Structure 1
């Protein structure tokens, strides 16, 4: 079962969950996920690296690049939240148990 970390925006109380582990949408959709999550520069960078790696390795390098991007994507999203002043609340299942 997937574990999710919860982040809270102190300005409006809005919360977001970030999955712990591999990010499958990044593997399949790559830069589109980065665009929808406000990480445009990183999405473009990963796309360029994948295109270059894929060009020289008949596409295999691009697959490897997107696997690496899928591993790192959730940590990047967490760092983005923290840099914008969001607060780490805890794991989703721990929060639910505390509220019972």
Structure 2
């Protein structure tokens, strides 16, 4: 079962979930996830790296690049939230357990 970290915007109380671990959407759709999440520079950079790595290796290099991007994507999102002043609240299941208790 996937674990999600919760981040809260202190200005308006809005919360956002970030999956802890590998991002399968990035693996399959690559730069599209980066573009929709506001990481335009990173999306373009990953795409260029995948093209450069994939061209001489008949796509195998690009496959490896997207695995690495999938590992790093959620950490990039977490870092962006923290840099914008969002507060890390905790893991979703821990928060729900505290509400029940």
Establish whether TM, by shorter chain, passes 0.5.
Answer: yes
Aligned mates of 2:35, 2:81 — CA distance in 1: 15
Q: Which runs of 5+ in 2 are unaligned?
A: none
Aligned to 1:82: 82
Shift of 1:56: 1.3
Aligned to 2:99: 99
Aligned mates of 2:39, 2:23 — CA distance in 1: 15
**Matching of residues 37-52 of structure 1 within 5 Å:** 37-52=37-52
Scaled by the length of structure 2, what TM-score is found?
Answer: 0.97
Q: Which runs of 5+ in 1 are unaligned?
A: none
Q: For residues 49-100 of structure 1, give each alpha carbon's deviation from its aligned partner in whole angstroms, at most 9, with x where no partner exists.
A: 0000011111100000000000111001100100011000000000011112
Aligned to 1:36: 36
Scaled by the length of structure 1, what TM-score is found?
Answer: 0.98
How much is the aligned-residue C-alpha RMSD, in angstroms?
0.5
